[in-house]
Amino acid sequence: MAKPKKIWENVYQIGGSNISHTSDCCIYLVGIGGNEGVMIDCGAGQSANKLVANMKSVGVDPQQLKALILTHCHIDHIGAANLFKERYNCRLIAHINDQDAIEGKDITKTAAQWYGVDYSPAKIDHILAGDFEKLSIGNVKFNCIHTPGHTPGSISVFCDIIDKRVLFGQDVHGPFDESFGSNISDWRASMQKLLDLEADILCEGHFGIYRPKEEVKKYIEGYLRRF
């Protein structure tokens, strides 16, 4: 497995298929001052200890993990959420439109069966209900945008850090399936929202990091042409 990688000042990739476990999405960590942090997604559930070790290696104390932002309800993004909440008392943040899946009322929409793993439901502490919400956590502002399409409650998050806009766009690429409520029309509108941000760095959900701004635009527009 590869080591965690620094993306930008206080922004790291600590998990992914080649970093933590083959079933994991790309998992990101933002330092918010001192040894505190916020994690974006948490993998399918088998790699929690590896994520903790990787967190420590970049200078964030897991006991100071203040929040875990879940970008959508699929198992490869939420599988370890309950464990992190119980072990480290971090606040879970997610959109209301994916709440039933995350909290265990509609397990089918987690796609856990695709991965052959069990899901331990997690209670969301901060429910995002609108199109946009800005959260100040530590010394960083996390701008949460509702970007439905992949799932009804998909969100993207961007942070302006030093002189760069870092976008956690997550599953720009899909896939799309009726069983978890995908909607291509909604997705296309969501991708336009992301393009309008003119992000300098895109942290994608499975395919890594894109920069500079021109490459971010090229990547998103490539999928818009495909679908």
pLDDT of residue 30: 98
Task: Calculate mean pLDDT across residues 205-211.
Answer: 96
Structure confidence at residue 170 as a pLDDT band (50, 70, 90): confident
Q: Which domains does the chain have, with CATH numbers?
A: 5-226 (3.60.15.10)
pLDDT of residue 182: 96
CA distance 218 to 210: 9
Q: Report whether pLDDT(28) > 90.
A: yes
Q: Which residues contact 119 (CB under 8 A, 6 or more apart)?
A: 45, 75, 78, 79, 104, 107, 110, 112
pLDDT of residue 114: 84
Structure confidence at residue 116 as a pLDDT band (50, 70, 90): confident
Q: Report whether pLDDT(113) > 90.
A: no
Strand partners of residue 39: 29, 68
Nearest to 137 by CA among 55, 70, 59, 38: 38
Which amino acid, one-letter code, is at 3?
K
CA distance 218 to 46: 33
pTM above 0.95, yes or no: yes
What φ, ψ does residue 59 adopt, rounded to 5°?
A: 95, 15
Q: Report whether pLDDT(174) > 90.
A: yes
Task: Calculate mean pLDDT across residues 112-139.
Answer: 95
